[in-house]
């Protein structure tokens, strides 16, 4: 092992162990009091409280109208905002090798590749994400099953919210040969499944006919089962499960529409779709957007760049959409994605719904997550301010009534801040050390004299969002 990578590996293990060591059982009764509660599914509640019992919300209302049981643990979020945790409808985060060497592998599942100790899941909690739909990568044909997980738990089983959520499919040309070759391969893969199923049904039908004619004993049963490696694909063509089809650009939308006529598909759009908005509208259902919702194209005549926002194009066309988060860079932050939507003219409430209620409904979990309401899971985040502000931080995350993240106890942030503090102290030189020593001596003297030492406000630590870049007027990164 490279000796330089050892501290990082030890830190990763230590952080994972520390996060997993947080309270292991949900509070039987939890009350979260806040200056502002954003249920998403209803109007904002000022000076409100959320009551959670046995992992589910029992009441959301004004503090003056809700009686908090004496036995409840109370989290005082005065001056802060409470809202549901974010829901990511499509991601490859937290997966080892999310693109397989073989393209056609419908028997696989991401459950075998998810790493509960992945830094991605730590960052999910820091960003207020409470549910992630983990899927195989986009360089595939039929890539296997996805699953919805919470970003907290020691094992995949602990993290699971919903398993076998659908078959990942893709029109992205990952096997070479370009777009048309990819379309041909995907058609052939689906045709092979249909031929296999037709042959299976034919043999079963012949068995039943022979049995009815007396050629086969009446007590003998048909024992052959669908091939395990083809079962997922068979369910797909029989519309027993949903397919999650990645469409990288407008050029593949015609094929996506053709496939949607025969299969139960959820479309995941790439960024370059400005010329296919009309086709997307023909689907008649919500779509999931890739994390890159802004892109530029150069006019061939004027050679000027024009910026497009996928979310804005769809909003203007009346197509509901779900936002997703990237695996790195600015698009990995919810506030960046929401801000990009609002900056391009999308209503604030619609932008927030695109990262809460809409993805929850697409995943079939709209009655469980995505908003704060009675009977739903007690998944919420406590923010220091407005969710669209880059200066707002996630202070606490509660999943099913269990406090799973507290910024003040985040071991990775503590490690980073201590390292920065040490660098700053070293850069200040010996004069600063002499000043610190004098202040320490003075405090010690005050203590000996019985005087209370003067309190000084600690310097505000720099943000944990990995110095997320701000956006200029043209949507580019500004440092």
Is the torsion defined by CA of 50, 364, 88, 315 positive or negative? negative
pLDDT digits (tens, 9 = 90+) for 310-360: 999 999 999 999 999 999 999 999 999 999 999 999 999 999 999 999 999
Q: What are the structure tokens assigned to 312, written together? A: 């804005």
How far apart (Å, rounded) are the C-alpha atoms in residues 377 and 130?
A: 11
pLDDT recorded at residue 440: 55
Mean pLDDT of 374-385: 96
pLDDT of residue 162: 96
- Asked whether the predicted pLDDT for residue 133 surpasses 90, the reply is yes
| Average pLDDT rounded to a whole number, residues 197-217 | 92
Buried b (16+ CB within 10 A) or exposed e, 276-287: bbeebeebeebb
Residue 229 bridge partners (DSSP): none
Whole-number pLDDT of residue 98: 67
Average pLDDT, the chain: 85
**pLDDT score of 394:** 96
The answer to whether residue 77 scores a pLDDT higher than 70 is: yes
Which residues, at least 6 apart from 407, have a Cβ–Cβ distance to it below 8 Å? 126, 393, 394, 395, 396, 413, 464
- Kindly state the tokens that stand for 206: 């012949």
pLDDT tens sequence across 295-309: 888 888 888 888 899
Mean pLDDT (whole number) for 130-142? 93
Beta strands across the sheet bearing 86-91: 86-91, 129-134, 147-149, 160-162
Looking at the predicted structure, is the pLDDT value of residue 51 above 50? yes
pLDDT of 27: 55
Cα separations in angstroms, 471 against 331, 390, 478: 11, 10, 6
| 100: confidence class by pLDDT, cuts 50, 70, 90 | low
The burial of 449, by beta-carbon neighbours within 10 Å (0-12 exposed, 13-18 middle, 19 or more buried), is given as exposed
State pLDDT tens for residues 393-426.
999 999 999 999 999 999 888 888 777 777 777 7
Q: What is the pTM of this model?
A: 0.81
- Report how far residue 115's alpha carbon sits from residue 434's, in angstroms, rounded to the nearest whole number: 48
């Amino acid at each position: 092992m490279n000796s330089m990578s050892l501290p990082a590996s030890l830190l990763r293990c230590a952080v994972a162990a520390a996060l997993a060591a947080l309270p292991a059982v949900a509070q039987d009764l939890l009350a979260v009091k806040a200056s502002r509660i954003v249920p998403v599914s209803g109007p904002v509640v000022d000076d409100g409280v959320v009551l959670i019992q046995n992992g589910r919300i029992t009441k959301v209302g004004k503090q003056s109208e809700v009686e908090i049981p004496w036995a409840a643990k109370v989290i005082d979020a005065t001056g802060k905002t409470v809202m549901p945790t974010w829901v990511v409808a499509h991601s490859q985060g937290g997966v080892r090798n999310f693109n397989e060497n073989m393209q056609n592998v419908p028997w696989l599942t991401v459950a075998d590749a998810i790493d509960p100790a992945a830094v991605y899941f730590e960052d999910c909690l820091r960003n207020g994400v409470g549910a992630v739909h983990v899927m195989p990568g986009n360089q595939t044909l039929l890539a296997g099953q996805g699953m919805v997980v919470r970003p907290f738990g020691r094992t995949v089983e602990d993290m699971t919210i919903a398993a076998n959520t659908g078959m990942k499919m893709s029109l992205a040309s990952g096997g070479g040969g370009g777009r048309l070759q990819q379309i041909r391969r995907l058609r052939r893969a689906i045709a092979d499944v249909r031929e296999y199923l037709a042959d299976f049904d034919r043999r079963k039908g012949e068995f039943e006919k022979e049995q009815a004619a007396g050629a086969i004993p009446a007590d003998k049963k048909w024992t052959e089962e669908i091939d395990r490696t083809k079962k997922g694909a068979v369910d797909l063509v029989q519309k027993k499960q949903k397919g999650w089809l990645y469409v990288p650009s407008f050029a593949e939308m015609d094929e996506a529409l053709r496939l949607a006529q025969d299969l139960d598909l959820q479309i995941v759009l790439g960024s370059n779709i400005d010329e296919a908005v009309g086709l997307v509208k023909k689907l008649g259902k919500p779509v999931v957007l890739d994390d890159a919702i802004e892109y530029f194209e150069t006019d061939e005549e004027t050679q000027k760049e024009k910026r497009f926002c996928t979310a804005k194009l769809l909003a203007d066309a009346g197509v509901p959409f779900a936002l997703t988060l990237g695996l790195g860079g600015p698009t990995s932050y919810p506030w960046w994605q929401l801000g990009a939507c609002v900056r391009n003219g999308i209503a604030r409430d619609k932008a927030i719904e695109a990262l809460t209620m809409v993805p929850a409904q697409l995943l079939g979990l709209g009655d469980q997550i995505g908003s704060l309401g009675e009977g739903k899971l007690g998944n919420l985040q406590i923010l220091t301010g407005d969710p669209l502000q880059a200066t707002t931080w996630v202070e606490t995350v509660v999943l099913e009534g269990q406090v799973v993240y507290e910024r003040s106890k985040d071991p990775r942030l503590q490690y980073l801040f201590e390292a920065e503090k040490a660098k700053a102290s070293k850069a200040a030189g010996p004069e600063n050390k002499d000043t610190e020593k004098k202040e320490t001596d003075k405090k010690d003297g005050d203590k000996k004299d019985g005087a209370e030492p003067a309190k000084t406000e600690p310097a505000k630590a720099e943000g944990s969002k990995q110095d997320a870049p701000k956006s200029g007027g043209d949507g580019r990164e500004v440092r």
